[in-house]
Amino acid sequence: MLSAEEISNPKPSPDIFIKCGKKLDIDASECVVIEDSVAGIKAAKEAKMKCIAVLSGITTRIEISAIKPDLIIHSLTEKDKILKFVL
C-alpha cells in the first residue's frame, strides 16, 4: 500500500504507480491499474501499465476515450470483462 505522502509528484505523474510496481517487484508491463480519473489514467499509461478506466460520472466517455485506456467499463461489477482483460 502506498499513499500520496510517499511520492514527490502526484498524478498525472506516474510516480505512485512506478513505485508500487517496484515495491511489488513486478514489471510495469505486467501491471493493471484501475482508475476513474483523467489524471490517474494518464499516470498509468505514462508508467507503461495497462489501464482499466471506470466511468464514474465525473468524466465523460469521450474524455476518457481520448486518453486511450486499454478497457473502459461502467462499473467494477463488470467482473467478466475485467477478468477477461486481466487473464
Range of the domain at 9: 4-86
Compute the distance between CA of residue 39 and CA of residue 33 in angstroms, rounded to an integer. Answer: 12
DSSP-assigned beta bridge partners for residue 34: 52
What CATH number has the domain bearing residue 54? 3.40.50.1000
Compute the distance between CA of residue 11 and CA of residue 39 in angstroms, rounded to an integer. Answer: 5
Q: What is the pLDDT of residue 3?
A: 86
Q: What is the pLDDT of residue 4?
A: 84
Total count of domains within the chain:
1
Q: Is pLDDT at 2 greater than 90 in this prediction? A: no
List pLDDT tens digits, range 4-58. Answer: 889 999 999 999 999 999 999 999 999 999 999 999 999 999 999 999 999 988 8
